[in-house]
Structure 1
Amino acid sequence: MREIKFRGKNVDNDEWMYGFLTKCQNRIWENGQSSQDGYKMQIISHEMPIGVWDVISETVGQYTGLKDKNGVEIYEGDIVRILYTDWGSKPESDPRTLHQYLNDISYIAKVVFERNSWMVSIFGEKYKEWYFDGITPGKHGFIEVIGNIHSNPELLK
């Protein structure tokens, strides 16, 4: 069975909270704010001790069920470096290390739920507009979380 969980930024301290998601209608936060759609989002911890936190609705993202090459969970809204298996071999005359070469031919993308599946949304020199592709990099590729759209939007520029 796949694990269903969410994360969102705490309205009080901007920390990421992880757990189950609840959506309460027509509630106003203690600080006087409410979300634009009239709902209050809360994350309920699934670990002990159990806690309930109000989170900023725009920051809520669902866990994809996948982990990156370092074992980090991948969430909707994460920014990833992804290298697909169709990369060519590095020419011997290229002075870059293999690590530098692979980083240079990989893509920076954001994780989205589009067309009823988890995908990465890529924008770069190769594409003139946002391009959607699968989130699994294949047998010889890799995916690595390098940030998220809420804390590190500059990574997509």
Structure 2
Amino acid sequence: MREIKLRGYSVERLCADSQWVEGFGVMTTEYANGTKDYTMFTYYGNYQVYGKSVGQCTGLHDKNGKEIFEGDIVKLEFDGIERIFEVGIETVVREVKSHPSFADKYAKVAITGVVFKWEGFQLFPCVDYQGMSDTERMEIIGNIFENPELLEVAK
């Protein structure tokens, strides 16, 4: 069974080097005045986190072996060109070639998975002719919660 791992940025100041906490669940509490609190459940206790910071672990690792989370910003240099992507977990509709015995040559399918958002596109991780995944060449350079300006620079 695959472990579901989440990450969020703690509202309270922590004694650790980082404000990020990893857990296994998030509870949203909505108040009558419209405000919300987000509580991250961890093995070490519960922490209030910023809702916009919460992201799920993708199960993928960057070239340095660091886990890639939803909301991370990654850099990929390929053929001398540097590209910056935002990592997401989304459902994307694509047209794919059908099985030869099916009436229609192509079918639309909804695929849910890890996507790399770039210039208005939602791209899936690719594997080259040698079997190497894009993610093995990528490097995490920040995240959309702490470093949104990295995406602005990329435009």
Calculate the TM-score normalised by the size of structure 1.
0.68
Counting matched residue pairs gives 123
- Is 1:111 matched with 2:87? yes
**Paired amino acid for 1:147:** G
More strand by share: 2
* Residue segments in structure 1 that go unaligned for 5+ positions in a row: 29-33, 88-100, 124-129
Cα distance between partner residues in 2 of 1:19 and 1:52: 9
Aligned to 2:6: 6
Native 8 Å contact 1:109 1:121 kept in 2: yes
TM-fit CA distance, 1:27: 5.6
TM-fit CA distance, 1:66: 0.9
Native 8 Å contact 1:82 1:137 kept in 2: no
**Paired amino acid for 1:51:** G
> Which residue, out of 8, 26, 29, partners 1:25?
29
TM-fit CA distance, 1:68: 0.8
TM-fit CA distance, 1:24: 4.2
Calculate the TM-score normalised by the size of structure 2.
0.69
Describe how 1:16-55 pairs up with structure 2 within 5 A: 16-26=20-30, 38-46=35-43, 50-55=44-49
Aligned to 2:125: 135
**Paired amino acid for 2:22:** Y
- Is 1:58 matched with 2:52? yes
- List 4+ stretches of structure 1 deviating above 4 A: none
* Residue segments in structure 2 that go unaligned for 5+ positions in a row: 92-111
Deviations 1:3-53 (A, max 9, x none): 21111111123811111123143469xxxxx8x5x543212223xxx2210
Aligned Cα RMSD in Å?
2.4
Cα distance between partner residues in 1 of 2:126 and 2:39: 30
Native 8 Å contact 1:81 1:146 kept in 2: yes
SS at match of 2:138: strand
Say if 1:136 and 1:41 are closer, same or farther in 2 by CA, change over 3 A.
farther
Sequence identity (%): 36
Native 8 Å contact 1:108 1:156 kept in 2: yes
